[in-house]
Amino acid sequence: MDVRAAVAFEAGKPLVIETVQLDGPKEGEVLVELKATGICHTDHFTLSGADPEGLFPCILGHEGAGIVVDVGPGVKSVKKGDHVIPLYTPECRECEYCLSRKTNLCQKIRTTQGKGLMPDGTTRFSFKGKPLFHYMGCSTFANYTVMPEIALAKIREDAPFDTTCYIGCGVTTGIGAVVFTAKVEPGANVVVFGLGGIGLNVIQGAKLVGANMIIGVDINPAREAIARKFGMTHFVNPKEVEGDLVSHLVELTHGGADYSFECIGNVKVMRQALECCHKGWGVSCIIGVAGAGQEISTRPFQLVTGRRWIGSAFGGARGRTDVPKIVDWYMEKKINIDDLITHRLKLEDINEGFHLLETGQSIRSVVVY
Ligand code: NAD
Ligand code: AHE
Ligand code: ZN
Ligand code: ZN
């Protein structure tokens, strides 16, 4: 079938809106009509050329919501008409990783997904007879996509698409990092570096679990007001700190953070996030994605003296199990998504969404199909 898509032909170039071809679902696959998709910083990161797994030409996008319109042979867990959120971290419930109960990183289709292919090693998208790569197994910058069944979370039908799409990445990543990965306890002091689409969800996750101090760190002063609305108790702009930022944060928290979260993708900030943690027990969680060739460093003494460095992908959430629950939290008004969606755009204007992200004017832009 013909579908409308924003195609990334080359790294560093704007997306191009084209009519592309999409083959129907094969065994274990599902055709989804997307109704909305968010634009995450990771889409920007891959388009920039910094992603070692970036492949072109491709259809980016991994934060969608839509409706099942057709299923391939053998599909049992979803049917035509179901409302779904695509999962870049699938949940097969039978691989070694799923069965370990120690991680959400299902590996059933990770190898082909990282090569921009469906599990059978081919693509469903093409343009002028040439294949277009899938992205993070989702490719939500198209009004239809084909997904493996294990990479779809079935959600309730009264949930709006133009807000719940954000649960497909940013909301789950931020709240999940607090709740599922770090398991922040009530009364903890938390420092969040980067108050964008992810960091603000870390803030609301920290508030949800009853954290004590919730300190937000951002170089964009416009982030203070919205972060306070989501539960931030103190704001630190590194540009306004006289002297060393780490010492300032250690002093502010009377000894260091119990938990810190890096939500930027800056390896220098990752070091600060670790080193502002409390001696003996502070835990620093890396969420930000850093470009090819970049590495983190610290003095091993930081770890010897009890700080721990951890990371979180998709908030540690098991998508098919946890995403429907997070949709419930939203529908029950336990979490706020609406106020983080600052812009709604047509697919034709998607490059404007990238510009708003780059210039710090948006929290989340959502493309509504
Ligand atoms: P964003 O652009 O919305 O937010 C980034 C924020 O960081 C902005 O507010 C910006 O002003 C701030 N910032 C930039 N440099 C800074 C600095 N030196 N000090 C303090 N603040 C600074 O991006 P986002 O969508 O929130 O994504 C954040 C990061 O998380 C990206 O690296 C993205 O790729 C990554 N990410 C990871 C996962 C995961 O599963 N691990 C999921 C989604 C996104
Ligand atoms: N491809 C990059 C890494 C990108 C990355 O870390 N992706 C996160 C999700 S970011 C969503 O916005 C993730 O889930 N990682 C786990 C995985 O298996 O990809 C690289 O550096 O190669
Ligand atoms: Zn994302
Ligand atoms: Zn699995």
Q: What is the ipTM of this complex?
A: 0.99
CB atoms within 10 A of CB 256: 22
Residues contacting residue 70 through CB under 8 Å, at least 6 positions apart: 24, 25, 30, 31, 80
The pLDDT value given to residue 253? 98
Is the CB–ligand 1 distance for residue 353 below 6 Å?
no
Burial of 185 (0-12, 13-18, 19+ CB in 10 A): exposed
Secondary structure of 135-181 in the HEC alphabet? Answer: CCCCCCCECEEEEEHHHEEEECCCCCHHHHHHHHCHHHHHHHHHHHH
Residue nearest to atom 27 of ligand 1 (CA): 41
Counted residue by residue, the chain has a size of 369
**What are the pLDDT tens digits along the chain (369 aa)?**
999 999 999 999 999 999 999 999 999 999 999 999 999 999 999 999 999 999 999 999 999 999 999 999 999 999 999 999 999 999 999 999 999 999 999 999 999 999 999 999 999 999 999 999 999 999 999 999 999 999 999 999 999 999 999 999 999 999 999 999 999 999 999 999 999 999 999 999 999 999 999 999 999 999 999 999 999 999 999 999 999 999 999 999 999 999 999 999 999 999 999 999 999 999 999 999 999 999 999 999 999 999 999 999 999 999 999 999 999 999 999 999 999 999 999 999 999 999 999 999 999 999 999
Q: Which protein residues have their CB within 5 A of the ion that is ligand 3?
A: 40, 42, 169
The pLDDT value given to residue 10? 98
Residue nearest to atom 10 of ligand 1 (CA): 194
Is the CB–ligand 2 distance for residue 180 below 6 Å?
no
| CA dist., res. 143 & res. 138, Å (int) | 12
The full set of domain ranges for the chain reads 2-168+337-368, 173-313
User: Is the full-model pTM beyond 0.90?
Assistant: yes
Is the CB–ligand 2 distance for residue 121 below 6 Å?
no
Is the domain 173-313 a CATH 3.40.50.720 member?
A: yes
The pLDDT value given to residue 87? 98
- Residue 76 has phi, psi (to 5 degrees) of -120, -30
**Which candidate, 10, 101, 88, places its Cα nearest to that of 48?**
10
Q: How far is CA 63 from CA 39, 85, 142, in A?
A: 7, 8, 12
The pLDDT value given to residue 273? 99
Query: Could you identify the atom of ligand 2 that is nearest to the CA of residue 42?
Result: 12
> 2-168+337-368: what fold?
Quinone Oxidoreductase; Chain A, domain 1 (3.90.180)
Catalytic residues: 40-42, 62-63, 92, 95, 98, 106, 110, 169, 364
Is the CB–ligand 1 distance for residue 223 below 6 Å?
yes
| CA dist., res. 277 & res. 283, Å (int) | 6
